[in-house]
Structure 1
């Protein structure tokens, strides 16, 4: 059965923001999910000359894989999120902010320079750090104590945080022209976009784990 996220009328922008790995599939198919990403999955497939059913099946496989890879116990899932995503985001963002600043400073006069990227990454760094700190100090301990339905309010705050983070990811996609490197890009520029691609994919995977598995599981406890 196809997940509701993948209904033909849903936008590629929404799918890319919520489904880990979808951005890579869209990039490979030359489907824009940033500027122009408000078109439906069905329309995007048509414009790209792709079979909608085949594209949907590839995306559905991502959903199935994400569910299979998630630890079955709540404590294990929380530990996985802390280790795989919280620690990694902080480390990678600190490096990418410096690298983005270097690329903007050196190549700012290039037609395809990612102007505004450093600012967007600084905002994302602050946004994610505040969000993850709330989880580490308040939400995750409450989840592990089995607080159940009393978590509805705090989890709603987390949902809004995720929406804000998704907007910043779209901003990063926009200023980098969909993370497309210009011809002849230097090593620093290449390393920057490679790191950004991983970071953006990781953040989407992080959000997906919480939205579709951890939070529903915690509320039902």
Structure 2
């Protein structure tokens, strides 16, 4: 787009809700590579971001120009093919060891996996050359072998996630909930941050319990049916939710919320650093919260960046 041209701005609040996303998609589809437009809305349009990724792929950039609380503005640009850059999720999906580099720089590779390294570094003021240098160093370092999740069949990956990560969450939530409430009750008067952490974790526990149920009862069974249909060369199963991208968008939004809550806990606990006067329960709580967050990161990475993206592609391929 010529620098002298005015970028179109869509005031989404003036559009009837049921027509908003179709009109935004129509505007996006009309763009030439390098062109952009701005949407103005009264709330964070993050669900639209997930829908664009699911239905159009990584062919756009997403830049917040205003972030509320009353007005949100996002510039959406259709990227040029030669400018296409692998997302953080794609990088970690191809080599999970690189997650350690992103962790070191405080870059979210699970919930924020659909963003590019450049996008995140620019937004957070991180030296992108240093990040790319450390990522490149791993290409020449064989290191220890890691699971090649990319090569797994999706039905097997579903079962692995349930038996490994879902089981860990279910086994850990009751004790973590109990000990966080206990530490908050005993030490909250002198360390108010543990009260904030306990309240935030209570929200995580409630949300994840419902979230896992939806995945195990609705989404994962459908993904496994997709795999079976391809394997048996049979018709696609009928789903009550339409395309698989619909529940996936909901799951990714819930992942984002859980990640934000855990990030809040990490912040208020000073990176899970127990104070000098902390008792044994206090120290155990922080150690377990840190382990829980680490497991959640890999859990969400496997779903967002591998399982979900492959399921969307499988369904589209099979429909064609």
Q: Which of the pair is proportionally richer in helix?
A: 1
**Which of 70, 80, 88 is 2:168 aligned to?**
88
| 1:194–1:59 Cα change, 3 Å | farther
In structure 1, the partner of 2:310 is 217
**Larger deviation, residues 181-190 vs 105-114:** 105-114
- Relative to structure 1, the CA distance from residue 98 to residue 145 in structure 2 (aligned partners, 3 Å threshold; closer, same or farther) is same
Is residue 190 of structure 1 aligned with residue 190 of structure 2?
no
Between Structure 1 and Structure 2, whose CA radius of gyration is higher?
2
TM-score, structure 2 as length reference: 0.52
Alpha-carbon distance in structure 1 between the residues aligned to 2:108 and 2:280:
31
Partner residue of 2:213 out of 123, 130, 133: 133
What's the secondary structure of 1:183's corresponding residue? coil
Secondary structure of the structure 2 residue equivalent to 1:114: helix
Alpha carbon RMSD of aligned pairs, Å?
Answer: 3.4
Which residue is equivalent to 1:42?
A: 127
Q: TM-score, structure 1 length as denominator?
A: 0.73
Note the C-alpha offset of 1:169. 1.2
Dislocated runs of 4+, deviation >6 Å? 58-61, 64-67
| Deviation at residue 54 of structure 1 after TM alignment | 4.9
State the 1:5 CA deviation.
2.4
Relative to its length, the structure with more strand (as a share) is 2
Matched ranges for 1:136-155 at <5 A: 136-146=216-226, 150-155=243-248
For 1:68 and 1:154, how far apart are their aligned partners in 2? 26
How many correspondences in the alignment?
193
**Which structure ranks higher in relative contact order (CA pairs < 8 Å, sequence separation ≥ 6)?**
1
- Return 5+ residue gaps in structure 2 as ranges: 1-84, 92-104, 114-122, 227-235, 315-320
Quick one: which of 170, 193, 197 aligns to 2:263? Answer: 170
1:138-191 deviation line (CA, Å, top 9, x unaligned): 101110110598211111111111111111112211221221111242211111
CA distance in 1, matches of 2:204, 2:278: 24
Structure 1 gaps of 5+ residues are 21-37, 46-50
2:298 maps to 1:205: yes
